[in-house]
Each structure stands twice: as C-alpha cells, then as structure tokens.
Chains A and B, each alone.
Chain A
Amino acid sequence: MEPILQVENLHHIYSAGTPFEHIALEDVSFCAHRGEFIGIIGHTGSGKSTLVQHLNGLLKPTSGSVKLDGVDIWMDKETTRASRFRVGLVFQYPEYQLFEETVYKDIAFGPKNMGLSQEEVDRRVREAADLVGLTEEQLDVSPFDLSGGQKRRVAIAGVIAMEPEILILDEPTAGLDPEGRAEVLSNIENYRKAKNATIMMVSHSMNDAARLTDRLLVMSDSRLVMDGTPMEVFSRGQELLDMGLDIPDVTRVFLHLQKMGIPVKAVYTREQAVAELLRIKEAADA
C-alpha cells in the first residue's frame, strides 16, 4: 500500500544566520499509512513539536520534503493551504485558541475556511460534536462557560470537523484529569475508526503510547532515533531510559524481574503482562 505521508531528510534550523541559530530537526525521514496510529515520543526540546508543524505546512523545511500522496506540500501555495485541511493539527492546550460566541460557531471555523456549503458545514459540525461527546444543547453555549475537559473536546472537534485524513495531536491529554484523558483518547480512537484516518499523537505517557499505538517514533536531540512497533521500541527499554525517557510501568516491572533472574519476556501492556505471568506460573506448576 502506498504511504499517505512521506517525510524525507527533513532538516529545520531556527533563526538561521543569526547568533540565535538553533538546529531543531536533523535528517528526519519516515512514512505513514492510512489508518495507522503512530505515537511520537521524546523529551522536551527533542524536536517533536517542530516536526509536527512541518507535516501540515506551518513551518517550511530548511531542506528535505514532506509529501502527501506523493505530492510535495510546498509545490505551490494552493497545495500548502490544502495540506492544512488534509492534515489536521491539534496544538498543545488547544482550548486557548477558542474564540467564537458559541461552541457551534467555533467548531464551524475550520470547515467554513474550507469553503464548504452551509449544509455540509452543519453536517460536519454536528458529526464532530457527536464524535467527541458534546450534546446538542452544548452547541449553543459559549465555549468559555464549559469545563476544561469540555473546552479541550470542543477544540479537538474544531479540527476533526475538517475531516482530515491525518489527525495530529500534540499532547492531547496534558493537564486533564484521568476521566477527561480517557474520554479524549477514546474520541481519537473513534475518529480513526469512523474515517480510517491516520493518527499521530505526541505523548509523554508511555502507558498510553504502548496501549494505543501501532507504531512509535522516538525523537532525541533533533533526530529520529527509533521507528518501530511498541514491542520493538520498548524492548530497547534501557536505551529509552538512558535518553531520559520513560517506559510503561509494566515494562519497568518486567525489566526488573528479568534482572532478578526470572525468565519473563519484555511486555508493554497490562494484558500482555497478565498473559506472561500466567505462562510463567503454568510452567512453574508443571
């Protein structure tokens, strides 16, 4: 299958040619397929946020290219603008970008900018609101009267309403309570199922990354250092720890068990941990 997104040898240098010059991305290449759920992990300042802003043409690469369906998004102005609608980007703390009088109008901002018909905008707003679990009545209230978690969901709906083929979220659960986090994560999963969309999520929670994603990209010091399934990435747990990154709690426990000489395989989700423990127990009983 053809990848929907191809990133080739991406470099980005901030404030090039001034004393404040700073290399933010160095030779990053990867591709993404339709329907994939990709996690991006890396410590603060590793270039994750810079990377995601390249994927919808907000930042122009210093060198290298970003291609959607094989077409460079910087080919001409229209292509760049169109890429903003095909690749939806939800920033960190997106509730701070709400500005309209009602929730409905705020969600409609993106679809309206796409130049869609009134009916199509209406359909998309209602569908997006439904997908993130906002009720009909909430559409008519001011977004500023909602709770933090609800505001976050309005902001995410505002991007989902553009029906992007690739949805990128920069730490979508930061600052939410456990219930809010679970809701937002299930909203994202629902969107992926409904549209067969590609999801890319920047996250600091290794537990979420292990549980939800098909693939993980690990950024460190402006470079892409690992690209593989959660199993492949977390089996290199010690390397991640050396980079100052975390690993899922169960992986940490199992790494310790291995050190204690108990013959367990590395696991990264709770379900795998249970299965692995049962296997060991059965082997011991036998």
Chain B
Amino acid sequence: MLKDITLGQYFPGVSVAHRLDPRTKLIILIGYIVALFSAKSWISYGVSFAFLASAIAVSGIPVKSIVRGMKPLVMILVFTGLLNLFFTGGETVLLSFWKVTITLEGLRRAIFMVLRILMLISGTFLLTYTTSPISLTDGLESLLSPLKKIHLPVHELSMMMCIALRFIPTLIEETDKIMSAQKARGANFETGKLLDRVKALVPILVPLFISAFRRADELATAMECRCYQGGDGRTKMKLLRLCRNDYFALLLTAALIAVVILLAGFSL
C-alpha cells in the first residue's frame, strides 16, 4: 500500500537530536556531506560512520526504520556499484573474463561509492525523521535570509516548501482512496500492456489533480482569511535560538571535517 511509504516522514520525539535547532541540523548535514565527499580512505569513512552512528544512537530512531527507507533505493545502489566495479581502470587486475575486467581499484571504488550513497541518505533521513517540516522550513528560511538582500523571495520559497511537505501524506491518502474507488468499478492497474497501464492511470490522475487544485484554492482562501500577506512584518511564534547543545554539535561537525580533510592531506 502507498501508505507504507516512510520516506522523509517525521517521527515525533524528545531526544537531543529532535531538540536541536533546525539550523544547526541543516549545517551539520551539509558539513557531514562535505566530509563524506572528502573521505578517500577506510579510516575517514570509518570516522564519518562513527559520526553517523552516534547521531542515530542519540536520536533514538530505530535502525530498522532507516533501513526500511532504503528499500526503494536498492536498484540505484546495485547499478552504481556494478558500473564502478566494471568500468574503473586500474593496475591490479583481480578477475578477467570475456571483455570484462575487474580491478582492485574498481572494487574499492564500487564499495566506496555504495557506502557514500548509503551514508548520505541515512544522514538525510535522520534530518527529516527528527525535524518536523515546519521547523525545517523555519530553519531554511532563517539560513537563507541573507539572500533577501539580492531580492530572492526567501520567505515565499520556504512557505511553498512547507506547504508541499505538509500535503504529501494528504495526497498519498487521497490517491489510495481514489485507487480503491476505481478498483471497485473494475479498474485494473496491475496487469496489461504498458500502454494499457498508462491509460489506466487517467482515472486516478484526473480526480487527484482536481482535488489538489480544490485544496490549493481552499488553502489560499483560508490563509487570506487569516490576513496572510507574505513575509513582510510577519512574526514567529517559535523563535529559533541556539543553545549549548547546538554549539557542541557544530563543534563536533567541524572536528569531523577537519579530521577527514587532514587524513586526506596525508593521503590516508
């Protein structure tokens, strides 16, 4: 069922990871990604992994949920792994048959690439699992606010993002309902030729679009009724404030980047 999609879902909680300032979490994620992409050796991957593992432990999110979120990505991982395995040139040939050669460098690179993607996505999941969409967009808006100087509509962008995130579960539920209703009229989505299957989507997509537009319209009216008029002069109920935990977490991230880059400098 569509409802079982957990991708990017927020798990409410009270752990330290949940209570961190969303800006801190965003910066940590960016720092972590920088570290991952600078990592070139087993040791630096190990350090990054330790960082990720401790973050997961602190958040109290069950490892099972993170692993389950990976399922849709298995194909991409396999594909990336195989491409790197077969198409990386190198000196130490491990295996060679027909037109295919597997080198030690290829194997190393394939493993690193897969690890990098896995860790990248786990980290991103951790952010969305521990941060509600609203505080996430609040954080993003605050981080991007310097760009207002060059007339970028930062508030509007973050509001759009917030609304989009908010309506994902609603639309999934709606799709589920429409699918059941059309199935009850004998619609068939599971079998048939490709063209038939594409055609079978029309009875779902048309009602879905109509209801999305209706919802958008209603939401716009509701926002106007509450005097929403964009970001100018708008105050916040929850002010973002950095506290000791935030500085500590940022310090740790800085340390992670420093260690990884230093290790890379010693070509480790």
A residues neighboring B (CB under 8 Å): 15, 18-19, 53, 56, 58, 81, 84-85, 88-89, 91, 94, 96-99, 109-110, 113-114, 144, 158-159, 162
Contacts and interface: CB of A to CB of B under 8 A. Distances in A.
B185 A109 contact: yes
Contact of A85 (B62, B186, B202, B203): B186
A113 B185 contact: yes
Given A97-B178, A109-B203, A88 B210 contact: no
Interface in B175-220: 177-178, 180-188, 202-203, 206-207, 210-211
Contacts of A99: 202-203, 206-207
22 contacts: A15-B3, A56-B184, A58-B183, A84-B184, A84-B185, A84-B186, A85-B186, A91-B177, A91-B180, A91-B181, A96-B177, A96-B178, A96-B210, A97-B203, A98-B207, A109-B187, A109-B203, A110-B185, A113-B186, A144-B210, A159-B184, A159-B185
A96 B185 contact: no
Interface in B73-120: none
Contacts of B185: 84, 109-110, 113, 158-159, 162
A18 B5 CA distance: 12
A92 to B, nearest CB: 8
Given A96-B211, A97-B178, A144-B210, A58 B203 contact: no
B186 A162 contact: yes
A144 B188 CA distance: 24
Interface residues of B, number: 20
A98 B210 CA distance: 10
Nearest to A91: B181
A18 B62 CA distance: 11
Given A81-B186, A109-B203, A113-B188, 11 more contacts: A15-B4, A84-B183, A89-B184, A96-B181, A97-B203, A109-B182, A113-B186, A113-B187, A114-B186, A158-B185, A159-B185
Nearest to B214: A96
A114 B211 CA distance: 27
A18 B4 CA distance: 10
Contacts of B3: 15
Interface pairs A-B: 10 shortest CB-CB: A113-B186, A99-B206, A110-B185, A97-B181, A89-B184, A91-B181, A99-B203, A58-B180, A99-B207, A97-B207
Interface of B: 3-4, 62, 177-178, 180-188, 202-203, 206-207, 210-211
Contacts of B206: 99
B207 A96 contact: yes
A85 B3 CA distance: 26
Nearest to A18: B4
Contacts of B207: 96-99
Contacts of A94: 181
A22 to B, nearest CB: 11
B67 to A, nearest CB: 13
A88 B211 contact: no
Contacts of B181: 91, 94, 96-97
A88 B202 contact: no
A19 B64 CA distance: 11
A85 B188 CA distance: 13
B117 to A, nearest CB: 25
Nearest to B11: A19
A19 B207 CA distance: 32
A113 B181 CA distance: 14
B69 to A, nearest CB: 13
Contacts of B182: 97, 109
Nearest to B62: A19
Nearest to B180: A58
A114 B184 CA distance: 11
Contacts of A19: 62
A110 B203 CA distance: 11
A209 B263 CA distance: 76
Contacts of A159: 184-185
B180 A53 contact: yes
Given A15-B4, A96-B211, A98-B207, A110 B178 contact: no
Contacts of B183: 58, 84
B129 to A, nearest CB: 13
Contacts of A18: 4
Contacts of A53: 180
A19 B61 CA distance: 12
Given A15-B4, A91-B181, A110 B186 contact: yes
Most buried by B among A18, A99, A110, A113: A99
B3 to A, nearest CB: 8
